[in-house]
Amino acid sequence: MLLNFLPGLAGGFLLGWGPIAALLLGGVTYISSSGIAARSISDLGGPRVTESSIVLSILVIEDLAMAIFLPLAAVMVLGRGVGAALISISAALLAVALALLLAARQGGRLSAFFSHRSDEVVVLGVFGAVLLVAGLAQRFEVSAAIGAFLVGIALSGPAAGDAKRVIGPLRDLFAAVYFFFFGLGIDPASLPPVLIAAAVLGAVTGLTKIWTGWLATGRAGISASRRVRAGMALVARGEFSIIIAGLGTDLGLPAELRPLAAAYVLFLAALGPVLVRLTREPGAAVAAPGAR
């Protein structure tokens, strides 16, 4: 975590920002894009390849870390004090623990409940569960994104496959709409002043992500080229980075945070998949893209 969080934190202080804004920038640089990385995994040969499994594990750990980081950051941005921060973090940890326990002990029954031969039933059931849990998570300031993520963890087996198949187009649509609204809040004239900072930060944290993949796959007994390629699958940033950048832009934090995060995410979202494809071994099997 520190490999990818500290460059953003340090970058915030070097730009003259306060500790809260620097903390948010550290969160922006820490978290990889699960959606883009999942697509890049197809270029690694699919989820059965050793380094692909390790990349997926890293993505899950990062997303779980957001269950703690997002409520903590929200409380700090709003200035609610240590007590409120502890309550939010405790609620987040409890939600994560309950979701993991439910997935481990009742995952089969839960998936059977949502599995159905009718696509309409699958869409309404899963989508309703996501809205319910995300709404409850938002009510307790755990973050709606984390609530939806926990529902995804709890589903497995045929229900997970059906959900991916029928809700995949909605995922892509809503992701596009989210980024559209984020773009509406950015003045194009605000991007040029932050391009150099975004490029430098992207170069540094791109290397730290590659290093993360290299270290994580070190004990798997795979070749150096495959270890590097696993790290490259983690380079892209995306949805969570945008969410973090949007936390404080309307609450007196530096106005440069949003355009810097936008330029940074666009740079690495484009660069990450390109790096993976350029380093793919000739003749490697390409599995159908998955998404998490």
Q: Cβ–Cβ contacts within 10 Å for residue 89, how many?
A: 17
Check whether 289 has a pLDDT greater than 60: no
Tokens read off for 36? 């883009």
| Between 97 and 88, residue with greater pLDDT | 97
2-278 CATH pick, 1.10.150.130, 3.10.20.310, 1.20.1530.20, 2.40.50.140:
1.20.1530.20
The token pair at 147 is 């609530």
User: pTM value?
Assistant: 0.77
Residue type at position 210: I
What is the tens place of the pLDDT at every residue in 30-64? 999 887 887 777 665 555 567 788 888 898 888 87
- Hey, how many other C-beta atoms are within 10 angstroms of the C-beta on 175? 15
Q: 3-state SS of the chain?
A: CHHHHHHHHHHHHHCCCCHHHHHHHHHHHHCCCHHHHHHHHHHHCCCCCHHHHHHHHHHHHHHHHHHHHHHHHHHHHHCCHHHHHHHHHHHHHHHHHHHHHHHHHHHHHHHHHHCCCCHHHHHHHHHHHHHHHHHHHHHCCCCHHHHHHHHHHHCCHHHHHHHHHHHHHHHHHHHHHHHHHHHHCCCHHHCHHHHHHHHHHHHHHHHHHHHHHHHHCHHHCCCHHHHHHHHHCCCCCCHHHHHHHCCCCCCCCCCCHHHHHHHHHHHHHHHHHHHHHHCCCCCCCCCCCCCC
pLDDT tens per residue, range 194-236 = 999 999 999 999 999 999 999 988 877 788 888 888 899 899 9
- pLDDT computed for residue 28 by the predictor: 93
Pick the range with the lowest mean pLDDT from 9-18, 19-28, 275-284. Answer: 275-284
Residue 257's CB is within 10 A of a number of other CB atoms, namely: 24
Predicted pLDDT of residue 263: 92
Mean pLDDT in residue range 105-129: 83
pLDDT digits (tens, 9 = 90+) for 141-168: 666 777 787 788 778 778 888 888 888 7
Whether 285 has a pLDDT exceeding 50, the answer reads no
Task: Give how far Cα 277 sits from Cα of 31, 214, 224, 274, Å.
Answer: 21, 17, 16, 5
Res 189: pLDDT = 87
The sign of the torsion formed by the CA atoms of 245, 250, 255, 258 equals positive
Smallest CA-to-CA distance from 206 within 58, 32, 27, 24 is with 32
Backbone angles phi, psi at 16, to 5 degrees: 85, 15
Q: What's the average model confidence in pLDDT over 175-188?
A: 78
